[in-house]
Structure 1
Amino acid sequence: MSRLDELIAELCPDGVEYVRLAECCDIEDNKRKPVKSSLRIPGDTPYYGANNIQDYVEGYTHYGQYVLIAEDGSASLENYSVQYVDGFFWANNHVHVIKGRKDLDTKFLYYYLTSFNFIPFLTGGTRAKLNKGNMEEIPIPLPPLAVQQEIVRILDNFTELTAELTAELTAELTARRKQYEYYRNEIMQLKHWHDRKTITEMSLGDIYDFQYGKGNVIPTNGGEYPVYGSNGIVGTHFEYNSEDAPVIGHIGAYAGIVNWGYGKHFVTYNGVICKLKNNSVHSRYAYYLLLLQDFRAQAKSGSQPFVSYEILKKPRVLIPPFEEQKRIVAILDRFDALCNDLTSGIPAEIEARQKQYEYYRDKLLSFKEVTA
């Protein structure tokens, strides 16, 4: 038996009592309005809103161990915003500030609420709200403190290990991406090519016809063809306007990002269609030439960033003989495939670890209710 099993068998073999949150928690008055970012005085104290730390400021509203539950504005209803704070902090009025009383460990309360389904307790139309009255009715289990503290110890260790693994995997992914980009850029500079006389210089405008995509609204009527916006697939459509060609983000936060559109696909106005017009340039080699450009840095900023035809056409690039292009493409496509395997595999591993953590957390925090 584990230490937790022993404690449960000894201290609460028949189940635990559930009580209203208002009966086991202190609920702090929190009537402060949010402070506009322009009026906040920079400092070391975290400033909390509904979904996380928004800023670091001078002064504080609370000190100690607390749980912050979104009053409104939570980013997700299924995973309602719950935060744990230990120390000095500033909380605005978009969060409820609570802590456990002497028979309820506040960290245990936090872990329990992160697995709790808040939806039946929410009100509001377009913006869900957890009012104080409904929050007070949330049922909280009260196992003996020794049981609570053992569960906190287990979940703290699990959280720490998960965070360490996530950091390691993320660092590995970042390193591999940088390594790939380094070799791609080295190869595309053609320093290895022995016969410089066979290299042609031309502009991207000599290689591609650039055309903004069609439609400001993402098609929603479905279809067999993927829809590309400014940064990858955003839907499907029954029409297509490009095939096996790059798509460049045209406008908005992803202006200048280059993706490859596989097969027949539809490009919205948020993307740029790239039509190859020069038969002396391999289609994938031309794509890798686009990846060498820093279009994002050149994106003009009016009301929002965008890349113009002028920006896309202007860069001068080097073109080796067609057979050498094919050889380079074969190398880079293998690199690209390896990088994509990592890009999909590592986030999947991180997600699997998170699901594993949530499974064990929910299992640890499921208690049989004691019967009278």
Structure 2
Amino acid sequence: MSRLDELIRKLCPDGVEYKKLGEVATITRGGNFQKSDFSKVGIPCIHYGQIYTSYGLFTEKTITFISGDKAKKQKMAVTNDIVMAVTSENIEDVCKCVAWLGNEDIAVSGHTAIIHHNQNAKYLTYYFNSILFFSQKRKLVHGIKVIEVTPDKLADIKVPIPPIEVQREIVRILDTFTELTAELTAELTAELAARKKQYKYYRDGMMNIEGAVYTLEDVCQIVDCPHTSPKWKESGVPVIRNYNLVNGIIDTTNLSYIDEEEYQSRIKRIAPKKDDILFSREAPIGNIGIVPEGFVCCQGQRVVLLRPNQDIVLPRYLLYELQASVVREQIFRVEQVGSTVSNFNISDLKKLHFTLPSLDAQKAIVEKLDVFSGLCASITEGLPTEVAARQKQYEYYRDKLLTFKEATV
């Protein structure tokens, strides 16, 4: 039997009392300062927008301050108060909150509720992030463009209130789970960074071999994009834009589309086909992707098509060459001397130069690099999948820990 089970059996064997939040807390609205009131020193403060972007569930320090004079006119939160943002653009984020665990009183901006209570602050905060709270919150929201929950409505939210000892044990378990998830994420991220560094070193070393020097113009047909913005559609033929070019592949998770008539107009110069390489000459400059077999698409603005002369260079070898340090350094130098870094001219693109070995040597190098890049890709794909699985597991156990048999009166 776990310690939590023992505590529940000992302290609340007949179930846990569910109380309205208004019975265990006072709920007040925040103040009225703006981001323009921030100062480098003064009274610590939390602006409601920061709850979405800059804080986790708990904090002992604020990232901003306001002057003492301004703070005198504000609503303040004290240690263990929970600051909840009560307006958002969506129902998922509204009521996101942070528990203030610092020693000083802090000023709190508008669009918030300050929840002053007599319970364990971390316990309540974990509850406010559970599906149990969400199912009640969604009944209280109003608005379309701006979603809001008025602070006075929060008083009717029902919360399980076990004895403080039980709350502390639940917090200990969830804190441990959170730390383990964070450690796993850090380890996987470090592993990915190490593998990418190793791969870069391996790739650059393999491509630093003797051979003839070529410019990109020597080995490719280079075709610039149409210089007009298309009429976008909800579906149709994909238009490959600079942000769709990621680590040598075309990312299809966020595509833009045009209709057939627009497509025919945009491929008058050339229609992308298998093994063509698409190159972004606008920030992020130099991102590339290779067109897979059977993928119908067209170039977006600032996306250049490179069609390798396969009597000289293998498409995948050129793909790796364009990602190697020798080419990246040339792109960087052009960016540095230009008046703007947002555009890479076709004339500069044509001048990119590199050494090419024989086709047989290219083939052998590509086979090795494909294996290594595949390993890096599997780690890259596995990282968010593993983290998402851990997060889902955490949410399951959090909600389970916060679910109790309700005591009968």
Q: TM-score, normalised by structure 2?
A: 0.76
Mapped to 2, the partners of 1:328 and 1:230 lie a distance apart of 28
Q: What SS does the aligned partner of 2:147 have?
A: coil
For 2:52, the aligned partner's letter is N
Deviates more, 1:317-326 or 1:167-176: 317-326
Q: What SS does the aligned partner of 1:98 have?
A: strand
Equivalence for 1:274: 305
Mapped to 1, the partners of 2:123 and 2:21 lie a distance apart of 13
User: CA, structure 1 residues 261+14, in 2 after alignment: closer, same or farther (shift >3 Å)?
Assistant: farther
For 1:160, the aligned partner's letter is E
User: CA, structure 1 residues 307+200, in 2 after alignment: closer, same or farther (shift >3 Å)?
Assistant: closer
Q: What SS does the aligned partner of 2:146 have?
A: coil
Q: 2:216 aligns with which of 189, 199, 203?
A: 203
Deviates more, 1:255-264 or 1:42-51: 42-51
Q: CA deviation at 1:26?
A: 3.3
Unpaired runs of 5+ residues, structure 1, are: none
Equivalence for 1:260: 290
User: CA, structure 1 residues 35+329, in 2 after alignment: closer, same or farther (shift >3 Å)?
Assistant: same
For 1:106, the aligned partner's letter is A
Mapped to 1, the partners of 2:342 and 2:23 lie a distance apart of 53
Is the CA contact 1:248–1:259 (under 8 Å) kept in the aligned structure 2? yes
Equivalence for 2:63: 56
Q: 1:140 aligns with which of 154, 159, 165?
A: 159
* Alpha-carbon displacement from aligned partner over 1:326-366 (angstroms, at most 9, x marks no partner): 11111111111111111111221121111111111011011
Equivalence for 1:319: 356
For 2:255, the aligned partner's letter is G
Equivalence for 1:40: 39
Q: 2:117 aligns with which of 85, 100, 120?
A: 100
Unpaired runs of 5+ residues, structure 2, are: 56-61, 245-250, 264-270
Equivalence for 1:248: 279
Mapped to 2, the partners of 1:145 and 1:371 lie a distance apart of 19
Q: CA deviation at 1:308?
A: 3.6
Is the CA contact 1:19–1:142 (under 8 Å) kept in the aligned structure 2? yes
Equivalence for 1:287: 319
Mapped to 2, the partners of 1:42 and 1:262 lie a distance apart of 55
Equivalence for 2:382: 345
Is the CA contact 1:122–1:134 (under 8 Å) kept in the aligned structure 2? no
Q: CA deviation at 1:246?
A: 3.0
Q: CA deviation at 1:106?
A: 0.8
Aligned residues: 359
User: CA, structure 1 residues 255+90, in 2 after alignment: closer, same or farther (shift >3 Å)?
Assistant: farther
Deviates more, 1:324-333 or 1:272-281: 272-281
Give the fraction of aligned pairs with identical amino acids, expressed as a percent: 33
Q: CA deviation at 1:23?
A: 2.3
> Whose strand proportion is higher, 1 or 2?
1
* Alpha-carbon displacement from aligned partner over 1:224-246 (angstroms, at most 9, x marks no partner): x7966523222386868423333
For 2:160, the aligned partner's letter is P
User: CA, structure 1 residues 3+222, in 2 after alignment: closer, same or farther (shift >3 Å)?
Assistant: farther
User: CA, structure 1 residues 218+65, in 2 after alignment: closer, same or farther (shift >3 Å)?
Assistant: farther
Is the CA contact 1:27–1:96 (under 8 Å) kept in the aligned structure 2? yes
Equivalence for 1:212: 225
Mapped to 1, the partners of 2:113 and 2:230 lie a distance apart of 40
Q: 2:92 aligns with which of 36, 57, 78?
A: 78
**Correspondence 1:235 to 2:255:** yes
Q: CA RMSD in A?
A: 3.2
